[in-house]
Structure 1
């Protein structure tokens, strides 16, 4: 099916779990549902193996909160710091301080300094989660999701789409999703793609950016948005309030609960690429178990699925992966 990345399963075995560890989890921002979901999943998994775990709110890096949270963990003399959707470049100095303090650092849903658009060639996290056997880095995983978004547009339009793509610039995840989407749209002879940009600074102007693009391109009938938070920040409202609402379809990001509500009610979003962010959080703790034992990360089995009114849309609640990954990890950890 267009827009699907096959799921695997979590690793069947893991080394013995180290005892009595303190884990500090840096959320990308507890006000954002996706960040909250991943951070709380990592905390639940850490506590499942008997470790103490605490979440520090990265507040979407307002006032340099990412670095501040990492340094709070160092000051608390924790054994490990797990960061969620935070790129190495944003916490480069604190990561060096954590290394000097012999604190293990794990990255999930973010980019180490040796990957992504801002790569410096230097790996600073102790380890990063390996999403799957096929997608060995978060960069590869996000590129595949970007391509899946393009495949859905091509499939649902019959290969004749006039698309406005929103590119989240200045971010590694935005660059990877954009690259994947552009590659996915190649070879579609009857498709046109206009790219408009949004940054952290213009995030609050997302609605105006999409409204302006729709006015300038009255032939556009598809809108591709890389992250569900950008849909909620105004892209969905722009489509729902458009005079051409009936003709314009929008595909968003992760399949967060509010966005699934928009799809169910046909209120400015038509589809998403469902990603199990909670699975990513459990995978971070599995990666940490292995790092404490001196072993490399194991592929996590992550996949993704298209969600629209025809496929994979739950009647209520959030998107759930079609694999009982929590039970699988518990078995691997000997619980």
Structure 2
């Protein structure tokens, strides 16, 4: 992959796995248009209430106890790409947290390449690792190496990736021994994606347009988690906004990597001159062409451009009012700490617990970070983890 392609890809990974694994068939035709429909069981008021809650931050209580960490564990952190902030920051957080409790941490750069991911897993096996943390990598990309890791007695902990037993990933055997826990209310990772992350973006759209959104919705099915993001977005728009209009714009990861995304979005905006919202399922799509397309249309001030995680370049766009207007903040370093807390519980044969990670509305008026260049939550998670792990006192 060229340096230019990597530049486009940078940041493609806090919510979005960097590998095009877990493919499935598209559930909508190109350019399909639909409205919410009068059968909606929700309401605009419901959407506004959900957004109001997230304006104050939707973080939940942090864990209050932990099994005593066992020093000396050898843990490999397999980052989808150290060139991508959405991979690098949580990987660094996991490495930092692991060292705090006496683990021997190794960060391996997957370079966005499934063959390199496989090499990383097999290197961990050769090093006789006790655990592997996968940062934004789908199981389907490395199923055979993960089987080998399990046979070697290594625990595998997934973070922002889809396990092999997911229906969209083929419905095979489960390979992750644990994943970051988002609480019983949201259930599985994919349920949290649809009903928390995607819902916040949808309800913010409804709130800002007062239920009169005419949306160009970017959809993508070659990355499993992105399928769940756009599917959840459309579901919540339909539920809470009977007067909203949706026009799907199917894309592929290759459009982003080959610089074709801007042209596709510009064509969609030309075809739909009354569109007042563009939905991008993840931040890298915005920096990779969507924001440029909106600005080139001359309708930047009339179009609400919603994004994803709240990574550094996207935060700057929001802060300066250049293209992107909103992100559904997800804290990457906190998530890295949560992987270590979860893996420690797996080592002890205990179930994972809700790590408290929520989301927040990030727009020009709310939750722009001041201590970090990216959004990292509102809780003092580091102090809490140190306390329950019994370190740093």
TM-score range, shorter chain: over 0.9
In the alignment, does 2:197 pair up with 1:142? no
Give the equivalent residue in structure 1 for 2:246.
Answer: 193
Shift of 1:262: 0.3
Give the equivalent residue in structure 1 for 2:292.
Answer: 237
Compare 264-273 and 311-320 and name the one that shifted more: 311-320
Give the equivalent residue in structure 1 for 2:269.
Answer: 214
Provide, for residues 6-40 of structure 1, a one-character-per-residue CA deviation record: whole Å limited to 9, x for no partner. 21122111111112111110111111111111111
Provide, for residues 263-313 of structure 1, a one-character-per-residue CA deviation record: whole Å limited to 9, x for no partner. 111111001000112221111101111111111111111110111112222
Give the equivalent residue in structure 1 for 2:83.
Answer: 31
Shift of 1:314: 3.2
Q: Quick one: distance in 1 between partners of 2:263 and 2:123?
A: 38
What are the equivalent positions in structure 2 for 1:240-279 lying under 5 Å apart?
240-279=295-334
Shift of 1:241: 2.0
What are the equivalent positions in structure 2 for 1:33-72 lying under 5 Å apart?
33-61=85-113, 64-72=115-123
Give the secondary structure class of the aligned counterpart of 1:263.
Answer: helix
What are the equivalent positions in structure 2 for 1:283-322 lying under 5 Å apart?
283-314=338-369, 317-322=373-378
Query: 1:260–1:127: structure 2 CA closer, same or farther, 3 Å change rule?
Result: same
Give the equivalent residue in structure 1 for 2:210.
Answer: 158
Contact 1:206 1:234 in 2 (8 A): yes
Give the secondary structure class of the aligned counterpart of 1:165.
Answer: strand
Q: Quick one: distance in 2 between partners of 1:119 and 1:141?
A: 20
Q: Quick one: distance in 2 between partners of 1:210 and 1:132?
A: 36
Q: Quick one: distance in 1 between partners of 2:299 and 2:68?
A: 58
1:324 to 363, 380, 386: 380
1:77 to 107, 116, 128: 128
Q: Quick one: distance in 2 between partners of 1:207 and 1:64?
A: 29
Question: Which structure 2 residue ranges, 5 or more long, are not aligned?
Answer: 1-48
Contact 1:67 1:94 in 2 (8 A): yes
Shift of 1:178: 1.1
Q: Quick one: distance in 2 between partners of 1:33 and 1:125?
A: 24
Please give the TM-score of this superposition, normalised by the length of structure 2.
0.82
Contact 1:109 1:280 in 2 (8 A): no
Contact 2:70 2:102 in 1 (8 A): no
Give the equivalent residue in structure 1 for 2:31.
Answer: none
Shift of 1:189: 2.4
Contact 1:84 1:109 in 2 (8 A): yes
Give the equivalent residue in structure 2 for 1:21.
Answer: 73
Provide, for residues 37-72 of structure 1, a one-character-per-residue CA deviation record: whole Å limited to 9, x for no partner. 1111111111111111111111122x6222222122
